[in-house]
Amino acid sequence: MIATWAEFEEQAPELAARVRARFEAHKHLLLATLRRDGAPRISGIEVTVAEGALWLGMMPASMKARDLERDPRFALHSAPVDLELAEGDAKVSGRAHLVTEESALARYWTALGRPPMPAAVFRADLEEAAITVVSGDELVIDSWRAGAGVRRVRRN
């Protein structure tokens, strides 16, 4: 199953808020895509959550844009600044879809508060999300899968 960001928020509001907070904690996140030969590629990226969607904006014809146009599967990681993970380490994965509809692009640029510029803009649909926190001697992982709800795993 797959879900929009709005559906993620509806199905798992607390977890979605925590993931969003980690994504908004600093400007740069890490995006994993698949190269033409199937090998992984990690790239820096800025993302926006607006209009019930997770938006990925990047330079047109960048390698990550080419990767997503060829194979929409991605993973996005919060790249934690807090090395103790007290606030958490957030990840989502799913499929990114190139946005070409003018009205959707206008909403994206309005949400950013910037005038339109040349860019490859993708809307990300989610398959799963997780946030990992270190609590004492435990690793606490709260995860969600589209249509399956939230679960918590504790590891020592």
Residue 154, CA distances (Å) to 14, 15, 141, 150, 151 in order: 18, 16, 6, 14, 10
What pLDDT shows up at residue 51? 92
pTM of the model: 0.93
Under CATH, which architecture does the 5-155 domain have?
Roll (2.30)
- In terms of Cβ atoms closer than 10 Å to its own Cβ (0-12, 13-18, 19+), residue 73 is middle
Residue ranges per structural domain of the chain: 5-155
- CA 1/CA 14 separation, integer angstroms: 20
Residue 123 near residue 99 (C-beta atoms within 8 A):
yes
Interacting residues of 63 by C-beta distance below 8 A, sequence separation 6+: 33, 35, 41, 43
Q: How confident is the model at residue 99 (pLDDT cuts 50, 70, 90)?
A: very high
Q: Is the pLDDT of residue 15 over 80?
A: yes
Q: Is the pLDDT of residue 84 over 80?
A: no
Question: Mean pLDDT across the stretch 98-116?
Answer: 94
Among the residue ranges 78-87, 92-101, 131-140, the one predicted with the least confidence is: 78-87
Nearest to 122 by CA among 151, 97, 95, 92: 97
Enter the DSSP assignment of 3. B
Nearest to 33 by CA among 96, 78, 91: 96
Q: Work out the mean pLDDT of the chain and round it to a whole number.
A: 94
Neighbour count for residue 11 (Cβ, 10 Å): 19
Nearest to 126 by CA among 77, 75, 71: 75
